[in-house]
Structure 1
Amino acid sequence: MARQQFDVLIVGGGLNGAALACALARGPHSVALLEARPPAPPGEAWDSRVYAYSPGNVDWLRGLGGWDESVRTQAVQQMRIHGDAGGRLTFDALDAGLPELAWIGENNRVQASLWRAARAAANVRLVAARAEAVSWHDQGRHSLHLQDGDTLSARLLVAADGADSWLRAQAGIGIRAEDYRHVGVVANFATEKPHRGIARQWFRADGVLAWLPLPGRHMSMVWSTPPAHAEALKALSGEALAETVAAAGGHALGQLQCITPAAGFPLVRRRAEQWVRPGLVLLGDAAHTVHPLAGQGVNLGFRDSRLLAEMLAGGGDPGEIGRLTAYAARRMEDVAGMQFTTGGLKKLFARPDTLSQTLRNWGMNLVGDCDPLNQALTRHAIL
C-alpha cells in the first residue's frame, strides 16, 4: 500500500476537473486528478452529450492546450428563439460585432483533449482508481483511501465529481434542490438542409425544444419536457423520432435522420449548502446545477475552474479557508443569477393563462427590438 502526497487532489475527471488540472499545470502546486473511469479515445460516432461553450471559455481552453484539432465543433452565428404565441427573439454575432456567439461540441472529444493536455504536464498525476473513504484533517491534509489500498493526501480536495458528488456526500454537505419535473431528452440528427450556424429554440406547450448546430449537416436536439412525454419520445423508433422532431421545429432543416439514440436525464436545480471548507472546495455540478434552456451549465463550471486556478496561482496553502471563502463569494453571484434566470423563464413559460402568455411573448419582442439590450445580453453570454 502506497501513500502519496499532493498539494491539490481533484476528484472527478470530467470537463471541469480535467480543465482545472490543466489550468494548475503551470502553477506552483503538485496536482493529482482522480477518475475511476478515464475517457477512452473517441471514435467517429457522435456523442449524444453535446454542449454549448462560450467563446470566453473556449479561448481559455485553447490557452490550456485542451481544445485541439480533434475537437469537432461548430460556431453559432445566430440564435433564433420562438415563443409560444408569436414572440420572436434573435441574437446575431454580426450585429453584436462578434466572430461567433458560442461553439457547439461533443463532451467526449473535449474531455479527451483536456486529458491529453493534463497527461503532458509535469506536475499533474492522473490516477485511474476509485476512492472508498476519506480521512479529514490529517495533519493539515485530507486523505482519500482508494479501493486498491493506496492513499492519496492533499492540502486541498476538489469535488468535481458531478451532481451526485460522492465527495460532497462524504463531507456531509447537503443540497437544496428543486425538481423542475422535466426530463432533458437528447439525440443527434443528420439534416437535409444546411443549418448555416443557426441555433434554434422553441418554447412550446410540451416544454422547450432546442436545436444546436453540429459540423456539416448535423444537429443536436435537447427537448426539456414532462416525464410522460419524455418517455414517449425515447420509446419511438429512430425514424419516428426524426419525424416528430422535424415537425416540432416546422421542418426548418428539412427531413431529419436520427444518428444517436434518444437518452434522457432529469432536470433538477441544485445548490450545495456549502461550497468550501478548510481544504475542500466544490466545483461545477457538485456545487450547482441549472436548467439547460440557456446552455450555461458547463460554462458556469468552467468559470468556477478559471477563477479557482487564478486564485491558486500565487502559491501558498491551497486549502487556506480565507482564499476559498473569497472564491465562493465571487462565484455565487454568477451562479445565483443564472439559476434565477433559467428557473424563472421555465416557470414563466409553463404558465398556461392568457395574460402570462401575452406578457412573455411581448417581452421577447421587446428585447428583440431593443438593440442595446439585445447586444448587452449577447455580450454577457460569451464570457
Structure 2
Amino acid sequence: MKQESILVCGTGIAGLACALGLSRAGLPVALLGPRQTPPVRAADDYHPRVYAISESSRALLDRLGAWRLIEARRITAVEAMEIHGDADGLLDLSAWQDARESLAWIVESGEIERALQQAAQVMGIAWHEDKFVGLTPQARGVQVDTAQGRQLSASLLVGADGARSPVRVAARIPHEYTPYGDMGVVAHLDIERPHQQRAYQWFTGDSVLAVLPMPDTAQGAQASLVWSMPEGQAQAWLAQPPEAQQAYFAAQAAAITQGRLGRLGLRTRPQGFALTLERSAMMAPGVALVGDAAHRVHPLAGQGLNLGLGDVQTLIQVLTARAPQQHLGEARLLARYRRRRAEPVLAMGLVTHGLHRLFGTSCMPLAWARNQGMSLVDQLPFIKRQLIRAAMGQ
C-alpha cells in the first residue's frame, strides 16, 4: 500500500492545475488517471473546445508555469464583448472602460492541457496511470482502490474527475442535477469580416449564440461558435449531413446576427453536449471536489472553467493556511473550503440560470423589460466596470 499525502483523481485541466498548485505549495501530491497528451496540431487546425480564460485564471496558469508554455499565436485576447438582446437591447463591454488591455483570452482546451502536463513533468509530480474504482474511509483520510488492483492511501483525495465524478458518487457527497432540456453546440467558423478581438453574443428567446474570436487562418478570419438551443433542435441539426448542416447554420446565423460579421460558415463539424445546472456539497471527510465534479453552470457566461480554477485556488489557500495540528483531510478544514466557495458558485449559478430563464420566456412585458434593461446598463459606466471585473474573476 503506497502512502500519498494528497491524491488528485482526474487528469484534465482542473486536476492538473490542482496537482501543480499543491506541489508548488510544498505539499506531497500525486495524480491518478490516464495520461492522454493532446496531439500537436498544425497551424490552421484547432481543438474543437475553447475556453474564455479570465484574468484570475490566466494569473493562476502563469504561477503554475503553464501559461508561458502555450504558443502565443494560439491565444486570442478578447478586447471587447457585444451582447444583443432578442429585440433592440444592446450591451457593449470594452476593456478600456476599466483601463485594461483585455477582458479575457480564448485558448484551446488541448493547448491548456498540454502546457499543464509539461509543467507537471517538470515538477516531477507522481502520476498513477490507472482508474479510480472505489474508496474506503480511514481514520485520517481514505484508501483508494484502482482498476489495476492497487490500493493508494491518502490523507486527502481531490475529485477532479468531471461532471459524472466517480469520486463524488463513492464518497456519497450530496449532488443536485437539473437538466435544462438544451444542448450546447460548438464548432469553428469562417467569418467574412475580421472580429477585431471582439466577442459577440445574441439572445434569441429560445437560444443563445456566441461567437468568440480566434486566430486567423490561411483562409481568413476565424471564430469559435458556442450555440445553446433546445435539445430537439440541436439533435435534428447534428443528425444532418455536412452540406445540410452548413446550409441550416448559414441561414440561422444570417437571421440572428443580421450580418454583423458578414457571412458565417462552419469550418468544422459541430459537436453537441447536454446542458445542466449542477451543485454538490463539495466535500466529505478526506475528500474535496473541484471543477465539474463539484458544480456545473449554463455556458452562456463562459465561466465554467474559471469557476473550477477558482476552486483550485481556494483549496490550495485553505490547505496551506491550515493549523499545524490539522491533517489535510479533516472535515472542519474542508468545510472551510466549501464555505469560501459557496458564494461565488451560488452567484454564478444564479446569474446564468436567471439569464437563461429571463430570456427563455416569450412574455411581452418581460421581453421589453430585459432589452430595456440591457440598454440602460450600457449607459452606466460604473455598472459596466463592475461587470467587467466580475467577468475577470476580480
| TM-score, normalising length: structure 2 | 0.92
CA contact (8 A) 2:157 2:288 kept: yes
Corresponding position of 1:270: 278
**Matched ranges for 1:92-111 at <5 A:** 92-111=94-113
Corresponding position of 2:141: 141
CA shift, 1:37, in A, is 4.9
Residue 313 (str. 1) matches residue 320 (str. 2): yes
Of the three residues 115, 118, 123, the one matched with 1:116 is 118
Residue 184 (str. 1) matches residue 184 (str. 2): yes
**Matched ranges for 1:114-263 at <5 A:** 114-122=116-124, 124-137=125-138, 139-216=139-216, 217-236=221-240, 237=242, 239-240=246-247, 242-244=249-251, 246-247=253-254, 248-263=256-271
Residue 30 (str. 1) matches residue 28 (str. 2): yes
Residue 304 (str. 1) matches residue 311 (str. 2): yes
Q: Distance in 2 between matches of 1:314 and 1:173?
A: 24
Q: Distance in 1 between matches of 2:136 and 2:17?
A: 26
Structure 2 letter corresponding to 1:339: G
- Determine helix, strand or coil for the equivalent of 2:2: strand
Corresponding position of 1:284: 291
Identity across aligned pairs (percent)? 38
Deviating above 3 A after TM superposition, structure 1's stretches of 4 or more consecutive aligned residues are none
CA contact (8 A) 2:206 2:359 kept: no
CA shift, 1:51, in A, is 1.1
CA contact (8 A) 1:200 1:210 kept: yes
Q: Distance in 2 between matches of 1:201 and 1:28?
A: 42
**Matched ranges for 1:38-49 at <5 A:** 38-44=36-42, 45-49=45-49
CA shift, 1:289, in A, is 0.6
Corresponding position of 1:88: 90
Corresponding position of 1:359: 369
CA shift, 1:234, in A, is 1.5
Q: Distance in 1 between matches of 2:347 and 2:335?
A: 19
- Determine helix, strand or coil for the equivalent of 1:100: coil
CA shift, 1:255, in A, is 2.8
Task: Tell me how large the CA RMSD over aligned residues is.
Answer: 1.6
CA shift, 1:207, in A, is 0.6
Structure 1 letter corresponding to 2:62: R
Of the three residues 2, 8, 11, the one matched with 1:10 is 8
CA contact (8 A) 1:104 1:212 kept: yes
CA contact (8 A) 2:52 2:105 kept: yes
CA 1:244–1:25 in structure 2 vs 1: closer, same or farther (change >3 Å)? farther
Q: Distance in 2 between matches of 1:348 and 1:269?
A: 16
Could you report, residue by residue, the CA deviation over 1:318-367 in whole angstroms, capped at 9, with x for unpaired residues? 21222211111010100001101110110011110110100100110111
**Matched ranges for 1:301-380 at <5 A:** 301-314=308-321, 316=324, 317-380=327-390
Name stretches of at least 5 consecutive residues in structure 1 with no aligned partner.
none
Q: Distance in 2 between matches of 1:327 and 1:161?
A: 18
| Between 324-333 and 229-238, the greater mean CA deviation after superposition | 229-238
Residue 78 (str. 1) matches residue 80 (str. 2): yes
CA contact (8 A) 2:193 2:261 kept: yes
Could you report, residue by residue, the CA deviation over 1:31-53 in whole angstroms, capped at 9, with x for unpaired residues? 11111353333323311111111
CA contact (8 A) 2:163 2:296 kept: yes
CA contact (8 A) 2:137 2:286 kept: no
Name stretches of at least 5 consecutive residues in structure 2 with no aligned partner.
none
Corresponding position of 1:59: 59
Structure 2 letter corresponding to 1:150: R
- Determine helix, strand or coil for the equivalent of 2:373: helix
Q: Distance in 1 between matches of 2:305 and 2:61?
A: 13
CA shift, 1:256, in A, is 3.2
| Between 165-174 and 39-48, the greater mean CA deviation after superposition | 39-48
Q: Distance in 1 between matches of 2:121 and 2:35?
A: 15
CA contact (8 A) 2:30 2:127 kept: yes
